[in-house]
Amino acid sequence: MLDYDHALRHEAPPALTDKSTAEQKLAHERWEKCNRMSLMLIKNSITATIRGAIPDSTIAKTYLASVEEQFKGTSKAHACTLMLKLVTTKYDGRSGIREHIMMMQDTSNKLKDLDMSISEGFLVQFIMTSLPASYETFKVNYNTQKENGQ
């Protein structure tokens, strides 16, 4: 992105004065340009509806922090929805068992991305719980193997 994230990675340089060196002026000009371009890219990547809910700022780093703050509640609600899906999903028997397990693994990975990791053992138990009574023999065999350390 032509180093436009420079304004996101670095704080604004001090305001220019009559005593500012050419190097300081160049650094200030670079930061200002990167800040304007970053702000433009961020704002143009967000729909107008969402943009309207975010306090405006002339500093890209501040604007991005406002975007993050706006969506914190949304990610918590999303995590709650994913957790509920993981706990309540039942195998319907229409799709393959492999697809069912992969869907539950995907839900677990999405929770991990939201800093809500599910241990492998819990995930296995959620999957076992999601299986219907017709898989009872499989569940018993699995649990017996685990207890025997196999």
State the residue range of the domain holding 23. 1-71
65 and 104 in a common domain = no
Tell whether 80 is covered by a domain. Answer: no
104 and 62 in a common domain = no
Could you say which residues of the chain have pLDDT below 50? none
97 and 64 in a common domain = no
**In this predicted structure, what is the pLDDT of residue 150?**
52
**In this predicted structure, what is the pLDDT of residue 13?**
92
Q: What is the pTM of this model?
A: 0.51
Tell whether 29 is covered by a domain. Answer: yes
**In this predicted structure, what is the pLDDT of residue 31?**
95
Tell whether 139 is covered by a domain. Answer: no
Residue 93 and residue 78 in contact, taking contact as beta carbons nearer than 8 Å = no
98 and 33 in a common domain = no
Tell whether 120 is covered by a domain. Answer: yes
What residues have CB less than 8 Å from 106, skipping those under 6 apart? none
